Structure 1
Amino acid sequence: MPKNLTPIANPDLSQEHPTVLEIDLGALKHNLQVLKSRLQQKTKFLAVVKAFAYGSDALKIAQTLEEEGVDYLAVAYTSEGIALRDGGIRLPILVLHPQPDQLSRCIDRCLEPSIYSPRLLRAFVKTAEEKQQTDYPIHLKFNTGLNRLGFWENDVDRVNELLQNTRSTKVKGLLSHLAASDDPAEKEFTQAQLKQFEKIGKELVEKLGYQPLRHLLNSSGILNYPEAQFEMVRSGIALYGYGNAPEFDAELKPLGRLRTVISQLHKIEPGESVGYNRAYKAEAYQLIATLPLGHADGIGRQYGHGKGQVWLQGQLAPIIGNVCMDMLMVDVTGLDCKEGDPVIVFGPEHSAEDFARGAGTISYELLTGISSRVPRQIIDSTR
């Protein structure tokens, strides 16, 4: 090793990577209030913070939501809930997709599992009894049409029988998941789901002898079916600024802004190619900007060939050629820009939904796919 080279044990990527995901807690607070304004005062609010809070910062988001008075949090997997508990979060945390071998850890960290099958219910009861639990809270998930996870309606008697034979477990919640609450063309299907869920709830309450928290509405459900709030609602994507419809997007503020800079500008002549496999060939004189982010940062190859556009100097510039692992190139012909200038990939100026739509995908996939090597910068526009 050269004598003048000092090793760095834990390099600070925020000082190295010029691409940054800016996370605005002020936008989060705003979106929460917009959603709460559509609820009855007694309706509880569950905030979904799975997948690193939709690609942002799960712990910081959870801390803010706890401070803002939400009633529940939800994650997909047990490890996500454990990370929040280790970070000091004390709110009830629902685990939406627990696995049988993780049920013991759920109990150890006071996480509430969503139980969605007879196999999982038997496994949880066995685990809870071995740990000498009494009335440990669980949520029962019933399938009303999404056909992904959940008991069937005709499982109510079997579920009740299993629960009546143990004191270890108590039903804290009853849930299902809407399949198309954002699609006006599927209103009839969604209303059928609502009716089936209400029917299942009545049957279960009669057998249990008490009323669990019923929660069915997701973000689009809150916005489109306010009559079905039951005791609690769940919101994910709307908290992060996307309402799945232009009229709702206008009320919300995107939480994340992915920004980068121009690393280098190239002037190319007609017939010259850009990037791997010579995937783009210029038809005229052009000015090309290289940006320091690529598919290793979460901007996949599907955004190449003009399907993705970035925002600079108040205009959109198309991504050209193939997206590289660490870089991508955009056409900035006619724009007054220079090396080092800022570029917005998505954010309030250019929504993640619009960016994703160009490549035939959705904001969920784009947001949750931003790599961990992209530094997160927390700001609060309300302060």
Structure 2
Amino acid sequence: MDKVGETTLQIDLAALEHNFKFLKSRLDPETKFLSVVKAFAYGSDMVTIAKKMESLGTDYFAVAYANEGVLLRNAGITLPILILHPLPINFEALIDFNLEPSLYSPKILKLFLEKAEERQQKDYPVHIKFNTGLNRLGFWENDVDYIINHLREQNALKVISVFSHLAASEDVAERSFSLQQIATFKKTSEALNQKLGYKPFRHMLNTSGIINYPEAQFEMVRSGIGLYGYGNAKAIDAKLKPVAQLKTIISQLHKIEPNESVGYNRAYKSEGYRITATLPLGHADGIGRQYGNKKGHVFIHGKKAPIIGNVCMDMIMVDVTDIACKEGDEVLVFGLHQSAEEFANTADTISYEILTAISHRVKRVIINS
């Protein structure tokens, strides 16, 4: 087994391409594809991922905040970038870098319109978001007239898309709720289009929506977690390839006698003779304390090694009593032998959290570029 030498997050661009092609295969040929690259491309490498997606033919990007869009523009990304959660303090930067805001409330619409007029913009592209049940961001169904009244006699802004977000697209038990959301969005977007006098493109489906509600793909879909190898269902996960693998090494081995403790607060106490391995990553790297005390585990030479004691800021200790290994050997946290979803499940969380938690002090290594 190759020795990585330090903690690394390996990013496989061939896996990314595979996932994009799989998701595209579920769509009508004319449906546009928006790649979600927020949160450093789900904890990987936003610029590298965006450049690869641009080369593969994605139509749009989305990020959460303006500074993420600015980073992409400074890296040379030229495709349209939707800012999902713009804040008034960043409106100048939005316009400076040609970033397209989601207008999701009366206040945001009013303030961005004022800024666009102040900057003498014409037909600046904006996206109108409707809340159809997630109750996070978005105009209400009965806000259509308010939106139209503010947009009717101005030429600074132009609505180029209308969108919403499914709340539970992966949950078959919530199918009726998702269908109601889709119906509400259809009704609301049609009402807006009629009063605008033209038809902005529409998008509502996330990764699980692409899989479970293809009839609602409208003119564009948005995918985040699916691009990175996770489909929120075992059957779909089997058809995708994880883009990120987290690897580290064994820094030191310890022989532990009966009744000895390991780590802070003596959280682990040995019931017999054991061998432990100390690994150079901890909660400052994204492996939270919830993975300690045998909840989480890593793989060494294909064998499971439980995390013992409390996770430290920069280190974790694992039990390797039954594993033939030595200092410097490679350790897989998630990737080949267990996915990020499986690793996250040991601490009752989800792949999104562990992927986006990986610290930027962890070295990123790009493969299959």
Place the TM-score, normalised by the shorter chain, in its bin: over 0.9
The equivalent position to 2:274 in structure 1, one of 276, 286, 292, is 286
What residue is the counterpart of 2:207 in the other structure?
219
**In structure 2, C-alpha distance between the alignment counterparts of 1:339 and 1:365, rounded to whole Å:** 30
| 8 A contact 1:139–1:175 mirrored in 2 | yes
Q: Counterpart of 1:237 in 2: which secondary structure?
A: coil
User: Quick check: 1:23 aligned with 2:7?
Assistant: no
User: For residue 288 of structure 1, what is the amino acid of its counterpart?
Assistant: T
What residue is the counterpart of 2:192 in the other structure?
204
| 8 A contact 2:124–2:158 mirrored in 1 | yes
- CA deviation profile, 1:23-69 (whole Å, cap 9, x unmatched): 01111000000000000001000000000000111001000000000
**In structure 2, C-alpha distance between the alignment counterparts of 1:192 and 1:311, rounded to whole Å:** 44
User: Quick check: 1:45 aligned with 2:33?
Assistant: yes
**In structure 2, C-alpha distance between the alignment counterparts of 1:36 and 1:348, rounded to whole Å:** 25
Q: How many residues align?
A: 366
1:198-277 equivalences in 2 (<5 Å)? 198-277=186-265
Shift in Å, 1:17 = 7.4
What residue is the counterpart of 2:109 in the other structure?
121
| 8 A contact 2:102–2:126 mirrored in 1 | yes
The equivalent position to 1:101 in structure 2, one of 82, 89, 92, is 89
Shift in Å, 1:114 = 0.3
Query: What RMSD, in angstroms, separates the aligned Cα atoms of the two structures?
Result: 1.0
- Superposition TM-score, scaled by structure 1 size: 0.94
| 8 A contact 2:59–2:79 mirrored in 1 | yes
Shift in Å, 1:332 = 1.0
**In structure 1, C-alpha distance between the alignment counterparts of 2:173 and 2:302, rounded to whole Å:** 36
What residue is the counterpart of 2:366 in the other structure?
378
Q: Counterpart of 2:158 in 1: which secondary structure?
A: strand
Runs of 4+ in 1 over 3 A off after TM superposition: none
Shift in Å, 1:366 = 0.4
Shift in Å, 1:75 = 0.3
Shift in Å, 1:217 = 0.2
| 8 A contact 1:17–1:374 mirrored in 2 | no
Shift in Å, 1:101 = 1.6
What residue is the counterpart of 1:367 in the other structure?
355
The equivalent position to 2:121 in structure 1, one of 94, 112, 133, is 133
User: For residue 105 of structure 1, what is the amino acid of its counterpart?
Assistant: A
User: Quick check: 1:194 aligned with 2:182?
Assistant: yes
User: Quick check: 1:154 aligned with 2:154?
Assistant: no
Shift in Å, 1:349 = 2.4
User: For residue 87 of structure 2, what is the amino acid of its counterpart?
Assistant: Q
User: For residue 79 of structure 2, what is the amino acid of its counterpart?
Assistant: L
User: Quick check: 1:36 aligned with 2:32?
Assistant: no
User: For residue 264 of structure 2, what is the amino acid of its counterpart?
Assistant: Y
- CA deviation profile, 1:76-108 (whole Å, cap 9, x unmatched): 000000000000000000000000121121111
Extract unaligned runs of 5+ from structure 1. 1-15
**In structure 2, C-alpha distance between the alignment counterparts of 1:54 and 1:253, rounded to whole Å:** 15
- Superposition TM-score, scaled by structure 2 size: 0.98
The equivalent position to 2:99 in structure 1, one of 105, 111, 116, is 111
